[in-house]
Structure 1
Amino acid sequence: MLILAAMAGLLSVPVAVLLVEVVAALKAPRLEPFEVQELNIEKRVAVIVPAHNESLGLNPTLQDIKAQLGAGDRIIVVADNCTDDTAVVATEAGAEVIVRNDPKRIGKGFAMGWGITHLSQDPPDFVLFVDADCRLQADLIEGLKRVCHGVQRPVQALFMMQSADNSPVNHSFAEFAWILRNWIRPLGLRNLHCPVQLMGTGMMFPWNAINTVPLASSHLVEDLKLGLDLAKTGQAPYFFPFVKVSSVFPTSAKGTESQRQRWVQGHLATIGKFVPRLLVTGLMRRDVNVLALALDLLVPPLSLLALLIIGTMVLTSSVALLAGPWLPAVIAGGNLVGFFLCVVLAWSRFGRQVFPAHEALSFGSFALKKIRLYGRMLIGGTASQWIRTDRSTPN
């Protein structure tokens, strides 16, 4: 009984965190006074674009950035371990290009650190990281600069992933899960006056913040690690959802699978490695920001959480029907109800257009794909390096 009750009880924590975040997000965000005030002094921004074999889609990103640069601003493309003409494309687009070749140390974190080292010779006031396959809202850089100056902390823009036009892969559920992860939950944390996780792109830092944390690593979700490192130094990231950076999901099954595997693997590794330490640190320091990020990180990917809740419900109910204890089944049932409420509230307010109700009937086949994915991860088929997402369209 104790083991089953403990299993169900442990799942209650991420369900409760998710429910609080979703309910808090139902209140529309409002602009703070400092978020709209004009800067009366010149502040220089350097935009770093880590790029690994991104020549095909790099130019639109660079054009978006260049259109927003002011006097003294810079754009640096880190052509990291490239085997294509990324450096040439970036140079022709007018960017500063620094080439990094180190096959033994591959990872987006290494590329980011390389860019910061390059900037240390002439430090800007702020550093913005943008992925090489993203599009920027027209006023993104100015908005982030204004807010970053106001809070003197890292600032995360809204980062959305969308299905490509005429994509042969159905990303409806993935797009809804992304909205929940990158819009609804951070919005709830903002409304609760809590910090958020970094999202890997559209994130701006004061120079004295980004220059003091280690970046060079091969961690698969370097953004999560970076945000946690900054939170421990008292500079937890701030969410500014009024400007947006966007990208598209892969249009091939292979690209979709590899991308999701990296995200899931990196997230789970981060939970195991950092959450216990963060909880202890937050409690000892009585630091609400660190505790909020630790609890937020406890929420696993939506599909995995759903499978864990359903699996626990089936297991505890089966034991109860065989004359076992009912308490674990009651706890598991509460988790199922709480999770269902989270999904319904999130979908009804934010997800109707991307995930039509009739597509919920396809969750069974989607769940089977996820079970196969998690099975491969358990037997060692995991990603270990920064690789370019395959965005090719199948013939």
Structure 2
Amino acid sequence: MGVIAGLMSSAVAIGISVANLYLVSQVVTGCLPARRRPVPPAWRPRISILIPAHDEEENISRVIESLKPQLRKADRILVVADNCTDRTATLAADANAEVLVRNDEFHKGKGYALHAGVGHLAKDPPEILVVIDADCVAAPGALDLLAGEAHRTERPVQGRYLMLASPERAEEQGLAEFLFLVKNRIRPLGLHRLGLACQLTGSGMAFPFSLLSQVDLFHGHLVEDLKLGIELARLDAPPLFCDDAIITSEFPASRTGELSQRQRWEKGRLQIISSLSLMLLHLGTYLRPRLFLLVLDALIPPLALWVTALMTYAVGMVILGVLGFVTWEPAVAGTNLIAFATAIAIAWLTQGRRSVKFAAGMASTPGMICQRLKSYRFLTRHGTNEWIRTDRTAGKTEET
């Protein structure tokens, strides 16, 4: 029994250390000095921009108008108004976008909207499809960079998709903005510099259109982007990161909107972690290094949950060490925690000081961790897979 317990303890220590080393290497590499910015290509293939939208009348016109200056001859904008109860379709049409109205009360979700849009575009397929969420703005040159890279590599490409603090709650949401920066910019950039694939993050994604006919989009998974990236990696087309193609959105000004948005993201992430764990039971996953590393990256929990796991593990190992049950594990646990803290400190020093000040970040971190843990506990019992519009207006009640 003692031998079995020792082997299990060693396996846990090795597993946590490997995942933490991978995470730390991503963050540190992603914080290295930036290289020269590329120039958008003079020529790029014909593209279609697909905008899945659910009750986005407040944003859709602004988003379409922001994309128009980047369009070239024969490019298209298609808005899929999915189960909308507002004027999203009308306003999109007024902005001269193509509109596909989809109503299906039994199949609600972004994946279903993407499936409908791809099917519609297949009648006159573009070379490259770019997906932009209905609350996002693409920086000048972003479409050219995404389309050019996807065409050159014949692989999916993910741009730098960032969530910014809303003006009404800039100081309060600063820590969330920084954590999103680590997740969606620093870590993918680190992977790119290491020559590895990144996750798809939902908006600012470009695909060779022919690839999409080989994957199943007809589903209501809450993190359809992450699922799609893994499926494409299984087809030997893992996504690449393009740091210079910048897409931005804002966190909801409403606290209820921010909470519902975060709960949907985190529930979807926890759901896919459980399903991806099964891939580690197949030998074929280990025989394909790029796929294995992408799955390993996806299995690393959100940072709040990961730091909690590291601290809990370290405290547990210290107690067991004092009682004489383990020997080297406490040192490994402490090293993992220090390495993680150092990587996050480097990320903040090099890129995060604009988002959150040191004192404010330190003061809000414990409360944020407690709030996230409470949210995870709630999500294991409740929650919905339906596409619910996020309330982005301060003072309004969450729409359902």
Give the TM-score category using the shorter length: over 0.9
Q: Deviations over 1:355-392 (max 9, x none)?
A: 211021222222221221122123x1233222111212
Deviation (angstroms), 1:169: 7.5
Q: Deviations over 1:8-29 (max 9, x none)?
A: 4432232111111122223335
Q: Which runs of 5+ in 2 are unaligned?
A: none
Deviation (angstroms), 1:5: 4.7
Q: Aligned runs of 1:275-290 on 2, under 5 Å?
A: 275-277=277-279, 280-284=283-287, 287-290=288-291
Q: Over aligned residue pairs, what C-alpha RMSD do you find?
A: 2.0
Paired residue secondary structure (2:51)? strand
Whether the aligned pair in 1 keeps the contact of 2:314 and 2:330 (CA below 8 Å) is yes
Paired residue secondary structure (2:160)? strand
Whether the aligned pair in 2 keeps the contact of 1:109 and 1:219 (CA below 8 Å) is yes
Deviation (angstroms), 1:36: 5.1
1:267 has 2:305 as partner: no
Whether the aligned pair in 1 keeps the contact of 2:70 and 2:140 (CA below 8 Å) is yes
Q: Deviations over 1:260-281 (max 9, x none)?
A: 1111221122122124426733
Deviation (angstroms), 1:148: 1.6
1:232 has 2:244 as partner: no
Partner of 2:191: 189
1:334 has 2:365 as partner: no
1:22 has 2:24 as partner: no
1:67 has 2:69 as partner: yes
Q: Deviations over 1:336-369 (max 9, x none)?
A: 1121122112111111221211021222222221
Paired residue secondary structure (1:97)? strand
Partner of 2:298: 297
Q: Distance in 1 between matches of 2:110 and 2:185?
A: 23
Matching residue's letter, 1:178: F
Residue of structure 1 aligned with 2:133, choices 120, 131, 134: 131
Q: Deviations over 1:205-247 (max 9, x none)?
A: 1111122211111011000011111111111111111120000
Matching residue's letter, 1:17: Y
Partner of 1:117: 119
Whether the aligned pair in 1 keeps the contact of 2:175 and 2:364 (CA below 8 Å) is no
1:54 has 2:56 as partner: yes
Matching residue's letter, 1:334: T
Whether the aligned pair in 1 keeps the contact of 2:146 and 2:242 (CA below 8 Å) is yes
Q: Deviations over 1:154-178 (max 9, x none)?
A: 1111101000112277112211111
1:387 has 2:388 as partner: yes
Paired residue secondary structure (1:71)? coil
Matching residue's letter, 2:140: A
Q: Deviations over 1:284-305 (max 9, x none)?
A: 3xx3321221121122101000
Whether the aligned pair in 2 keeps the contact of 1:5 and 1:327 (CA below 8 Å) is no
Whether the aligned pair in 2 keeps the contact of 1:29 and 1:191 (CA below 8 Å) is no
Q: Distance in 2 between matches of 1:289 and 1:8?
A: 24
Percent identity over paired residues: 35
Q: Distance in 1 between matches of 2:14 and 2:358?
A: 30
Partner of 2:224: 222
Residue of structure 1 aligned with 2:101, choices 99, 102, 106: 99
Deviation (angstroms), 1:4: 4.8
Whether the aligned pair in 2 keeps the contact of 1:261 and 1:383 (CA below 8 Å) is no
Matching residue's letter, 1:160: L
Q: Distance in 1 between matches of 2:160 and 2:73?
A: 26
Q: Distance in 2 between matches of 1:137 and 1:26?
A: 22
Worse-superposed segment, 352-361 or 114-123: 352-361
Q: Distance in 1 between matches of 2:370 and 2:230?
A: 33
Paired residue secondary structure (1:166)? helix
Q: Distance in 2 between matches of 1:281 and 1:4?
A: 26
Matching residue's letter, 2:238: A
Q: Distance in 1 between matches of 2:170 and 2:242?
A: 33
Paired residue secondary structure (2:59)? helix
Whether the aligned pair in 1 keeps the contact of 2:48 and 2:129 (CA below 8 Å) is yes
Partner of 1:350: 351
Q: Which runs of 5+ in 1 are unaligned?
A: none
Paired residue secondary structure (2:101)? strand
Q: Distance in 2 between matches of 1:201 and 1:259?
A: 15
Paired residue secondary structure (1:38)? coil
Q: Distance in 1 between matches of 2:238 and 2:277?
A: 15
> 4+ residue runs of structure 1 moved beyond 6 angstroms?
none
Matching residue's letter, 2:226: L
TM-score (structure 1 length as normaliser): 0.93
Deviation (angstroms), 1:112: 0.3
Q: Distance in 2 between matches of 1:5 and 1:236?
A: 32
Q: Distance in 1 between matches of 2:209 and 2:158?
A: 15
Q: Distance in 2 between matches of 1:133 and 1:36?
A: 24
Deviation (angstroms), 1:66: 1.8
Q: Deviations over 1:298-329 (max 9, x none)?
A: 22101000111111222222333344434332
Paired residue secondary structure (2:86)? coil
Q: Distance in 1 between matches of 2:245 and 2:77?
A: 19
Report how many aligned residue pairs link the two structures: 389
Partner of 2:85: 83
